[in-house]
Amino acid sequence: MAKYWNKPMETAKLHEMRALQSWRLSQTVRRVYENVPFYRDKMDAAGVKPDDIRGTEDLYRLPFVSKQDLRDTYPYGMFAVPMEDVVRLHASSGTTGKQIVVGYTRSDLDVWSECCARALTAAGGSKSDFMHVSYGYGLFTGGLGMHDGAEKVGMTVIPVSVGNTNRQISIIKDFGSTVICCTPSYALFLAETMQEMGITKDDIKLRAGLFGAEPWTEEMRREIEDKLGLKAYDIYGLTEIIGPGVSFECDEQTGMHINEDHFIVETINPDTGEVLPEGEQGEIVFTCITKEAFPIIRYRTRDIGILSRKECSCGRTLVKMLKPRGRSDDMLIIRGVNVFPSQVESVLLSFGDNAPYYQLIVERVNNLDTLEIKVEMTSSMFSDAVRNIEEHEAAIRNAVESALGIAAKITLVEPKTLTRFEGKAVRVIDNRKLHD
């Protein structure tokens, strides 16, 4: 089985990669300066001309692009080619504010499927696999992005999209799906439904899954692997950059390799914009250097991560980003303490006997923030005596308090009462925002 999709790029020496990036960057900057008024105005205001950008060492001189900039230029203000050359549009879900529209030329779609093909190959995918795609098809990039990548590899693609979970299980079983992709929260829901249908992991042939589009923990990985009987790989991406496939995990699973021949990555201090050395945690910033229709420069993702160039046992030299804990805007500040929902997930799942379903509810009572965590009980726990439930709540309360440094009210709820998600899970209800 092929180990790499594109060996020369995936194993290039750093100086070779830098030379390629530098060339592509200078070309891209020239193109956006000539074709996109937004970039021309921003660069003029910063006193930078395309000739000043000779290589990656000059990247820091270019202004950042924020999500607000994309909203201000909605829908097509950032496109760098005439619409006749655009063959596909996608859009971000737009849960907060106006949605963002991105476009692809034929060549952009090739770049994208190449990136996804690398991810699939790193997860052991090949022509002989049946690829079950349960990401949503439509404006969301997950479905079509992974679909095109899998077709490029030559897999037999099963384009199921989201919904009708019972039918999905029957398809996995009857069609013999060997690789699956969906959000990690949907993977768990599939596992739960499978159990209800009386189907065990031995009845199905899944052996690998590529899960992403939302933050998930190592505990969640083990839970999914155990319940579906597969090896779970992380995959990352965002609409603004291309969709899934910006970075992907190999067998070592100590971070996701970034497709650096297409995207230059930096980490910055989110408050000052200062570029941080590799290895320091910061906001991840990407620059697209091969895209034609929507070549975004220094895009501030708001994802918090760490980059690592430690040698990888898989042989890839592409820099790795460690699993992002979540976006800086998912981070809750509760009584002055920073809390990521994924920290709560780690604590809950480390208990062993909690179902992996939980919800954080934040309120402001008399000017004081309160945190309640609803945790679903497993069926076995539910049948226990009430006293045990109280003991269990107290144990979780102590563990959460010592992990987070703040007190939280823990409420165990009956099995199967918290909402299940087919796409990205919504874990937090922040009622403070209503009053702000």
Mode of pairing for the β-strands spanning 320-321 and 332-334: unpaired
Closest residue to ligand DLL: CB criterion: 212
Binding site for ligand DLL (CB under 6 A): 92-93, 135, 141-142, 212-215, 234-239, 243-244, 301, 303, 324, 327
CB-wise, 156 or 328, nearer to ligand DLL?
Answer: 328
Q: Provide the sign of the torsion angle of the four alpha carbons 127, 160, 224, 402, taken in this order.
A: positive
User: In the chain, what is the straight-line distance between the N-terminal and C-terminal CA atoms, in Å?
Assistant: 56
CB-wise, 91 or 381, nearer to ligand DLL?
Answer: 91
Token pair, residue 375, equals 């945790």
Phi, psi of 101 (to 5 degrees): -105, 135
26 membership: H or E segment, kind and range: helix 14-35
CB-wise, 124 or 341, nearer to ligand DLL?
Answer: 341
Q: Locate the DSSP E strands across 205-340.
A: 208-212, 231-238, 243-249, 256-258, 263-268, 282-288, 299-305, 307-308, 320-321, 332-334, 337-339
- We find the least distance from the C-beta atom of residue 380 to ligand DLL, in angstroms, to be 31
- We find the least distance from the C-beta atom of residue 18 to ligand DLL, in angstroms, to be 25
- We find the least distance from the C-beta atom of residue 379 to ligand DLL, in angstroms, to be 30
- We find the least distance from the C-beta atom of residue 343 to ligand DLL, in angstroms, to be 14
Token pair, residue 24, equals 């592509």
CB-wise, 115 or 408, nearer to ligand DLL?
Answer: 115
CB-wise, 327 or 432, nearer to ligand DLL?
Answer: 327
- The letter for the amino acid at 18 is R
CB-wise, 42 or 221, nearer to ligand DLL?
Answer: 221
User: What angle do the packed helices 218-228 and 341-350 form, to 10 degrees?
Assistant: 50
- We find the least distance from the C-beta atom of residue 302 to ligand DLL, in angstroms, to be 7
CB-wise, 349 or 408, nearer to ligand DLL?
Answer: 349
Cβ–Cβ < 8 Å for 57, 325: no
Cβ–Cβ < 8 Å for 103, 84: no
- We find the least distance from the C-beta atom of residue 222 to ligand DLL, in angstroms, to be 16
Of 212, 226, 222, residue with least CA distance to 115: 212
58 by Cβ neighbours in 10 Å (0-12 / 13-18 / 19+) ranks as middle
CB-wise, 28 or 92, nearer to ligand DLL?
Answer: 92
- We find the least distance from the C-beta atom of residue 435 to ligand DLL, in angstroms, to be 26
- We find the least distance from the C-beta atom of residue 143 to ligand DLL, in angstroms, to be 8
